[in-house]
Amino acid sequence: MDLNLTEEQELLRDAVRSMCEKHSTIEIVRSLEGDAKGYNDALWNSLAEMGLLDLLKDGLPVEVAVVCEELGRALAPSPYIDTAVFAAALTGEPGTSTALAWHEAERTDTENGIDVRFADGKVTGEKILVPFATSVDRFLVLARDADGIVIVTVDPASATAIAEGALASDARYQVTFDGSSGEVVARGWDAFMDAMTPTLIAVGAYAVGAAQRAHDISVEYAKERIQFDRPIGAFQAMAHPLADLATEIGGARAMVHEAAWALAVGQDASAIAAMAKYYACEVFRKTAKFGHQVFGGIGFTLDIDIQLFMRRAKQLEMLYLAPRRLEEIIAGAELDAEVPLVTGDAVASAAK
């Protein structure tokens, strides 16, 4: 297993980074906070024109991770993960811009947490935290019928969407379905979780890119901010944690790419995908949190960019399976596996 990027993957990374530098600058990200549409058409169209919506369909999960890391680096708000990853994994085609309508108020992100109903071709109930609900072309709604869990495609025009005040100030909506017409595209919780495996890898890659950018911003400021006639980065209390975080970001990136590689070669990647999302989001949150310490009090003001990363870090950690649920998946996979990913020898070696 070689986790180094190929020449083609490096070119892809550079192309997406250049695209984001043009269409998803920090200024554009800021302008989209509180915006009803919530994402930049120019970036979305560029992703489509480059054929990047078809990467997972074409069997290229590592390339998907490369793209998502660059989107994360730019904090780019986009329906890319729901469309080009989840929808593509579920249906085999990314189709048009898609939002996953999954979470429900006061309920868990397990199979038992689905109470929206599908009967006689109609969807009834309410979903929360639905991204870009007023601007995407379709919803994929997780619902329950007489036989169990179904994933239903619904026209957003047939539902009612009310903006929610999400932590990241992105376009999140409470969506009410009152007899909205729907069509089943997949059936069963297992089908949903199978599509969630590449999705978790993509989310982990996004978190790695965002963590790297937050770290870069923190290091740059640590070199500029002077205290006691020295840059604060010269003090061990700053230098050592920044070095540790750089190592952790590298570890998260390696885990994400190992999960993508496992998917690419046809291995069961469900457990390592859960690990990758869990760890990458944790590292993102830790990096953004320490960035606040680097900036001091001004880091909590809206004028400073580090707060953009901190708010998104905590929100991303809770979406697409929260840490507690990921821990259950990881523990279950390890306890039930004939050859666990984390072996007793590995644990003993790490403890030395």
Longest dimension (CA), the chain: 73
- Residue 299: per-residue pLDDT: 83
Query: d(Cα 202, Cα 287) in Å, to the nearest integer?
Result: 19
Mean per-residue pLDDT, 146-165 = 95
Mean per-residue pLDDT, 298-305 = 88
pLDDT cut 90: percent of the chain above it: 82
Q: Which one is predicted more confidently, 110 or 349?
A: 110
pLDDT over 70 at 349, yes or no: no
- Residue 325: per-residue pLDDT: 94
Classify domain 7-91 at the CATH class level.
mainly alpha
Q: Is residue 228 exposed (0-12), middle (13-18) or buried (19+ Cβ within 10 Å)?
A: exposed
- Residue 106: per-residue pLDDT: 85
- Residue 348: per-residue pLDDT: 44
> Which tokens hold the place of 9?
């993957």
User: Facing residues of 139 across strands?
Assistant: 99, 154
Q: Is the dihedral of CA 1, 341, 59, 95 positive or negative?
A: negative
Give the CA distances from residue 299 to residues 42, 106, 215, 310, in Å, rounded to whole numbers and listed in that order: 30, 32, 14, 10
Mean per-residue pLDDT, 221-226 = 88
Q: Which one is predicted more confidently, 101 or 225?
A: 101
Give the confidence band of 137 by pLDDT, cuts at 50, 70, 90. very high
Kindly report, as residue ranges, where domains of CATH 1.10.540.10 are found in the chain: 7-91
pLDDT over 80 at 43, yes or no: yes
- Is residue 215 a contact partner of residue 241, using CB atoms and an 8 Å limit? no
- Mean pLDDT taken over the chain: 92
Mean per-residue pLDDT, 274-286 = 97
Query: d(Cα 141, Cα 151) in Å, to the nearest integer?
Result: 5
- Residue 351: per-residue pLDDT: 40
Kindly report, as residue ranges, where domains of CATH 2.40.110.10 are found in the chain: 98-187
Give the confidence band of 286 by pLDDT, cuts at 50, 70, 90. very high
Classify domain 191-345 at the CATH class level.
mainly alpha
Mean per-residue pLDDT, 187-204 = 97
- Residue 345: per-residue pLDDT: 53
Kindly report, as residue ranges, where domains of CATH 1.20.140.10 are found in the chain: 191-345
CATH topology of domain 98-187: Butyryl-CoA Dehydrogenase, subunit A; domain 2 (2.40.110)
Give the confidence band of 306 by pLDDT, cuts at 50, 70, 90. very high
pLDDT over 90 at 334, yes or no: no
Give the confidence band of 224 by pLDDT, cuts at 50, 70, 90. confident
